[in-house]
Amino acid sequence: MITVEGLSKSFKVPKRSSGLRQATKALFHREHTIVDALKDISFSIEPGEIVGYIGPNGAGKSTTIKVMSGILVPDAGTCTIMGYTPWKDRVSYVQNIGVVFGQRSQLWWDVPVIDSFELLRDIYKIPEVEYKDNLDLLVETLELQSLLHSPVRQLSLGQRMRCEIAASLLPSPKILFLDEPTIGLDAVSKIAVRQFINTINKEKGVTIILTTHDMFDIEALADRVLLIGKGSILYDGKLNELRNRFGTHKTITVDYREHAKRFDIPGTSLLSWSSERAIFSVDTEQTMVSEVITQLSNQVELIDISIDAQPIEDIIVQLYKEYQI
Amino acid sequence: MSLYFNYLFILFKSQMQYRTSFWLLTIGQFLVPLSLFAGLYFLFERFGQIKGWDFYEVALCFAVIHMAFAISECFARGFDAFSSLVHNGDFDRVLVRPRSTIVQVLGSKFEFTRFGRLLQSVLVLVWALNNLAIEWSVIKAITLCLMIISGVSIFAGLFILAATLCFWTIQGLEVVNIFTDGGREMAQYPLNIYQKWVTRFFTFVIPFGTVNYLPLMYILGKSEGNDLLYMLTPVAGIVFLLPCLLVWHIGVRHYRSTGS
């Protein structure tokens, strides 16, 4: 469905220097640095996938999304999406996609939400029947009924985001680009948005490409992860594999009957200790968890035990460090 | 085209959210050119006529160019305010919608308050026409309409050119105001009162002369030679729009968006 090959894009950025003298000089002669936002990026995405696109700030996530949605023209490389080249066949191509920028609204600020929806219907030339069906479905699943008649500026961020997502799904797109859809949302709204994204993917088969800094988004939604750093793809694969490869540490928390003496278990490192609870970190490549538990039960009288995988956040931080991005 | 009116409708609704501001701005827009017109009036009070043009003839000149300016500022405001669209990244949104960029940018903003300015110029037009002894014919009436369309095209073209510059630089666009505001101020008067090179520039490069001066010679019976040629000069203004649109399309490909 989406094939990206050898995509490159660089920006000319004026050098900013401090000081009045430098600033005056810059009025007449400006020095530029070339920033490679994308360096030879290739990947392909199948219909119906949800792909999480992650990377630190400035890694090139947004640039990729912008190239794929026809906003930017790349310097080199090809990108074929449903047979279109986004920046060449812009008008006929964008009819088939939805784009949500988490930080920018696509609705008209001062008018009721329903007016924006109707204008979008005219812009996308959505047939009346299709529009009505889609609207009914979206209103129901996203609980928009009470919001439709209030102006966008009066909505909370979570309410607005629900409307934004609804707006981009009105024309029944085949691909949905979500650029940080959960940014700034509270826990409840986040979960609602995630559930909804999952639903439309499962029920309507919409292919979804999602950028985010919230790893819980990725965990809840994406089977596949693309990690980008400094303009290159560093990892492309299943989230589970990523976890298996890098997230080999587990934390074991044990509660036990009071035990005055501090104890050590070989092959683990003690993270915290009190007379009733201890937390260990285990590298599962070195030591088996079952071994640790056997050792533990020999030493203390166990009450409770819990084993947690390393949070995905930590894995990503570790990855960023490893690739020095 | 119908989409354009849908845009217009939604923007009108938005504007109506801020009624007080709307009325104040509209009145302001009515008064600003009124002071300009007062200047014109007192000038002629003192001098009687300039290079064979009397007050009402010049008033007609004035009315036509101001009317064209008001209409184009009202409807092509999206291009006039385009730098903000680029600056805050909203042009991204325009590009991911399946319609031409021109219609969408036009539809991004309407300045309804310019109706104040429009009303003022219409009043001057009516006043001037009432006081001029013109032998009206259908052709002359068409010419007058063409003149206004021509003026709107030129201003719109200039706004589009200015907007196109935003693809390369966000700032430093005041330069173009020399041609829009400057052109408007110059073309308030018949072009033959200026230096030769000024007249030539505003006839052949930015054809403001074809909006009012040349066709007015025909309407007022000052023309020599082929009437049809004078009558059709406003077409040059409409032709002026074409290269502007072309340049715009080149500019869009240079759009580089903003980081987010």
Q: Closest Cα partner for B180 from B87, B65, B258, B84?
A: B65
Asked whether residue A234 is assigned to any structural domain, the reply reads yes
Residues A50, A166, single domain; the answer is: yes
Residues A73, A140, single domain; the answer is: yes
Q: Are A205 and A48 in contact (CB under 8 A)?
A: yes
Torsion, Cα A294 A300 A303 A304, to 10 degrees, reads -50
- A62: domain CATH number is 3.40.50.300
Largest CA distance in chain A: 77
Instruction: List beta partners, residue B133.
Output: none
| Burial of B192: CB neighbours in 10 Å, binned 0-12, 13-18, 19+ | middle
CB contacts of B255 in chain A (<8 Å) are 71-72
Q: Which residue has the tokens 């490679």?
A: A36
Residues A83, A119, single domain; the answer is: yes
CB contacts of B253 in chain A (<8 Å) are 73, 87
Residues A207, A232, single domain; the answer is: yes
Asked whether residue A128 is assigned to any structural domain, the reply reads yes
From first to last of its 325 residues, chain A has per-residue pLDDT tens of 899 999 999 887 776 666 777 767 766 777 778 888 899 999 999 999 999 998 888 888 888 999 999 888 899 999 999 999 998 888 999 999 999 988 888 888 888 999 999 999 999 999 999 999 999 999 988 888 999 999 998 998 888 988 999 999 999 999 999 988 888 888 888 888 899 899 999 988 999 999 988 888 888 888 899 988 888 898 899 888 887 777 778 888 888 888 777 777 777 888 888 888 888 888 888 888 888 888 888 888 888 989 888 777 777 777 778 777 6
Count of A–B CB contacts within 8 Å? 73
Q: Which residue has the tokens 């729009």?
A: B241
B93: nearest CA in chain A?
Answer: A106
Number of domains comprising chain A: 2
Q: What integer pLDDT is reported at residue B260 of this predicted model?
A: 46
Residue A4 in 3-state DSSP?
strand
Asked whether residue A57 is assigned to any structural domain, the reply reads yes
- Cβ of residue B93 closer than 8 Å to a chain A Cβ: yes
User: What is the rounded distance in angstroms from the CA atom of residue A76 to the CA atom of residue A83?
Assistant: 18
Q: Say whether A104 and B17 touch across the interface (CB within 8 A).
A: no
B172: nearest CA in chain A?
Answer: A27
Q: Which two tokens stand for residue A256?
A: 């036990």
Residues A224, A79, single domain; the answer is: yes
- Cβ of residue B14 closer than 8 Å to a chain A Cβ: yes
User: What is the rounded distance in angstroms from the CA atom of residue A90 to the CA atom of residue B96?
Assistant: 8
Asked whether residue A321 is assigned to any structural domain, the reply reads no
CB contacts of B11 in chain A (<8 Å) are 108
B103: nearest CA in chain A?
Answer: A123
Q: What integer pLDDT is reported at residue B80 of this predicted model?
A: 84
Q: Closest Cα partner for A131 from A144, A122, A140, A142?
A: A122
Q: Say whether B95 and A90 touch across the interface (CB within 8 A).
A: yes
| Domain extent for A67 | 46-243
B259: nearest CA in chain A?
Answer: A62
User: What is the rounded distance in angstroms from the CA atom of residue A158 to the CA atom of residue A164?
Assistant: 10
User: What is the rounded distance in angstroms from the CA atom of residue B64 to the CA atom of residue B118?
Assistant: 10
Instruction: List beta partners, residue A224.
Output: A51, A238
Residues A132, A84, single domain; the answer is: yes
**Residue to substitute from A97, A110, A131, A150, interface B, most B β-carbons within 10 A:** A110
Q: What integer pLDDT is reported at residue A278 of this predicted model?
A: 87
CB count within 10 Å of CB A223 equals 13
Q: Are A196 and A169 in contact (CB under 8 A)?
A: no
Q: How far is A95 from chain B (nearest CA, A)?
A: 5
Q: Say whether A94 and B98 touch across the interface (CB within 8 A).
A: yes
B18: nearest CA in chain A?
Answer: A110
Partner-chain residue, chosen from B14, B90, B97, that has the shortest CB–CB distance to A111: B14
Most confident of A204-218, B162-176, B215-229: A204-218
Q: What integer pLDDT is reported at residue B171 of this predicted model?
A: 62
Asked whether residue A316 is assigned to any structural domain, the reply reads no
How many Cα atoms occupy the beta-carbon half-sphere of A153 within 13 Å? 6
For A55-205, strand residue ranges (E) read 76-81, 97-101, 175-179
Asked whether residue A26 is assigned to any structural domain, the reply reads no
Q: Say whether A58 and B259 touch across the interface (CB within 8 A).
A: yes
Between the two ends of chain A, the Cα-to-Cα distance in Å is: 30
A254: DSSP letter = E
CB contacts of A172 in chain B (<8 Å) are none
Least confident of A311-325, B158-172, B182-196: A311-325
Please tell me which residue, A86 or B2, carries the higher pLDDT value. A86
**Residue to substitute from B7, B93, B96, interface A, most A β-carbons within 10 A:** B96
Domain end call among A223, A243, A263? A243
Torsion, Cα B172 B175 B176 B177, to 10 degrees, reads 110
Asked whether residue A38 is assigned to any structural domain, the reply reads no
Q: Which residue has the tokens 């691909």?
A: A175
CA distances for B195 relative to B186, B202, B208, angstroms: 12, 11, 15
Q: Are A166 and A142 in contact (CB under 8 A)?
A: yes
Q: How far is B113 from chain A (nearest CA, A)?
A: 17
- Can you say whether the dihedral through the CA atoms of A279, A282, A287, A289 is positive or negative? positive
Is it the case that residue B173 has pLDDT exceeding 70?
no
| Burial of B5: CB neighbours in 10 Å, binned 0-12, 13-18, 19+ | exposed
User: What is the rounded distance in angstroms from the CA atom of residue B170 to the CA atom of residue B84?
Assistant: 9
Q: What integer pLDDT is reported at residue B119 of this predicted model?
A: 92
Q: Which two tokens stand for residue A251?
A: 């934390």
- Residue B31 is which amino acid? L
Dump the DSSP string for A185-224: --HHHHHHHHHHHHHHHHHH--EEEEE-S-HHHHHHH-SE
User: What is the rounded distance in angstroms from the CA atom of residue A57 to the CA atom of residue A89?
Assistant: 30
ipTM score assigned to the predicted complex: 0.80
- Can you say whether the dihedral through the CA atoms of B163, B166, B170, B171 is positive or negative? negative
**Residue to substitute from B13, B93, B95, interface A, most A β-carbons within 10 A:** B95
| Burial of A279: CB neighbours in 10 Å, binned 0-12, 13-18, 19+ | middle
CB contacts of B260 in chain A (<8 Å) are 62, 101, 103-104, 179
Q: Say whether B10 and A58 touch across the interface (CB within 8 A).
A: no
Q: What integer pLDDT is reported at residue A119 of this predicted model?
A: 92
Residues A175, A208, single domain; the answer is: yes
Residues A182, A271, single domain; the answer is: no
Domain end call among A228, A243, A258? A243
User: What is the rounded distance in angstroms from the CA atom of residue B141 to the CA atom of residue B152?
Assistant: 17
Instruction: List beta partners, residue A225.
Output: A52, A237
Residues A259, A164, single domain; the answer is: no
User: What is the rounded distance in angstroms from the CA atom of residue A211 to the CA atom of residue A179?
Assistant: 5
- A283: domain CATH number is 3.30.70.250
How many Cα atoms occupy the beta-carbon half-sphere of A111 within 13 Å? 20
Q: What integer pLDDT is reported at residue B148 of this predicted model?
A: 92
Residue A256 in 3-state DSSP?
strand
Residues A225, A257, single domain; the answer is: no
Asked whether residue A2 is assigned to any structural domain, the reply reads no
Most confident of A266-275, A294-303, B4-13, B154-163: B154-163
Residues A220, A263, single domain; the answer is: no
Residues A68, A168, single domain; the answer is: yes
A152: nearest CA in chain B?
Answer: B14
User: What is the rounded distance in angstroms from the CA atom of residue A161 to the CA atom of residue A107?
Assistant: 10
